[in-house]
Every structure is written in structure tokens, then in C-alpha cells.
Amino acid sequence: MQTGSQSPKHRKTLTDRAKHASKGFLEPLAGFLFRMGVEPNFLSFVGFLLALASGVLAALGRFPQSGLMLLLSGILDALDGTLARQAGKTSRFGAFFDSFMDRYSESALFFGMACWATFENRHDMVLLVILSLVGSIMVSYARARAEGLGIACNVGLFSRMERFIVLIGTLLSGQLFWGLLFLALMANFTAFQRLFHVAKESRAGQSLNGA
């Protein structure tokens, strides 16, 4: 039961808007994959493998190639849900598996960048990678935990799509320091935005229950 007063329909993140805007591209492609007999969870797993390859390329300092691999991984990540809906194979496990692979995909890339920073003796970059990873995970965790408590939490400046765009731009440009600095600040800021949102919605729910 949602305890907050605002509906998630009134709060759309860039991720939500991107999913809606890309339907014209994703749905025909998902239809083709459905006819080919491709399973949604298979797409999720292949997307993870591409993200893993992106992390390996980042560790080797091949950042533009890493960015392109990450872009392909993101396309598959967007496709798996569309394919599941078209194939009538949406399930609680499928949704869990998709989110599970997403977290490992993000971690694989950050681990690769941390390896590169370690090889290059860039301790400042290692710190930024850790802060970026923590912020990214906490943004996702905050939403999942809040929704588990019945509180809609698709709020904040830096949802998954914003993080994805910054990472792609960072890798393609090779500007890791500035990209990761921006990502570390904004991801952790968004995590605390969600913390304060849940605190506000919780107080509103308690007020309603006590009325």
C-alpha cells in the first residue's frame, strides 16, 4: 500500500521518458527477436556479458571501445523488458533477474575503471570510481527498498539513464576524471534526494494514519 500522497505518474525520471520515447524503435526489434525465439532473460545475460567486456576494455585503457560496448549493453537492457511484454513472458523472476544483472553490469564497468586507475597509479581516480559505484548502487537500492515499503520513489536528478549517458560520454571522450567526479557527486546527491523523499512520504503517511 502506497503511503505517500503523490502518484508515481506525476514523477517521471529520464529513464521513464526514454523508455516511452524509444518504443518506436524497440518494439519492432523486440518483435523480430520474438519471432526468432529469443528469450528475454537471455538478452539480459548477453547485456551483462557486453558490460563485462566494457569493463575489460576500460581496464586496458581502451575507453572509446569500452563506451561502444556499454552502449550495446544498454540497448539490450532496454530490449529485454519490451521482448518480455510482447512474448507474454513477464514475471517477477524476470524483473528480478533484469535488475540483478543491471547491478553486476554497472559494477563490472566500475571495476574495470578501478583496475585501470590502479595500473596507472591514479589513487584519485580509484577514489572517484568507488564513490561513483557507491552512489549508483545506493540510488537503485533506495528506490527498490522504498517501493518494498509501499512508497513510490522514482525521484531525483540522476536515475539510471542519466548515469548511463554520463558514463558513455566519459568513456567516448576519455575524460574519466571529470566524468567520474560529476557522476560521483550527482549519484550520491540523488541517493540522498531519495532518502529525504522517503522520510517526507513516511511522515505524510503517519499523519494520515493518525488522522
CB 191 within 8 Å of CB 139: yes
53 in a structural domain: yes
Q: Give the residue carrying C-alpha cell 539480459.
A: 44
Report residue 111's pLDDT band, with 50, 70 and 90 as the boundaries.
very high
Average pLDDT over residues 121-150: 95
Average pLDDT over residues 107-132: 96
pLDDT above 90 covers what percent of the chain?
A: 57
Domain span at residue 52 reads 12-205
Question: How many residues are listed for the chain in this entry?
Answer: 211
pLDDT in the model for residue 23: 59
210 in a structural domain: no
Read off the C-alpha cell for 205.
503517511
3 in a structural domain: no
Q: Does residue 128 surpass a pLDDT of 80?
A: yes
Burial class (CB in 10 A: 0-12, 13-18, 19+), 196: exposed
Prediction pTM value: 0.82
36 in a structural domain: yes
189 in a structural domain: yes
99 in a structural domain: yes
41 in a structural domain: yes
The CATH number that applies at residue 61 is 1.20.120.1760
Number of domains observed in the structure of the chain: 1
pLDDT in the model for residue 40: 83
Per residue in 146-185, pLDDT (tens digit) is: 999 999 998 988 888 899 999 999 999 999 999 999 999 9
Q: Which residues are catalytic?
A: 102
Report residue 203's pLDDT band, with 50, 70 and 90 as the boundaries.
confident
pLDDT in the model for residue 5: 40
pLDDT in the model for residue 130: 97
1 in a structural domain: no
Q: Does residue 2 surpass a pLDDT of 70?
A: no
Average pLDDT over residues 33-39: 77
Please list, in sequence order, all residues whose beta carbon lies within 8 angstroms of the beta carbon of residue 15, skipping any fewer than 6 positions away: 159, 160, 161, 162
pLDDT in the model for residue 81: 79
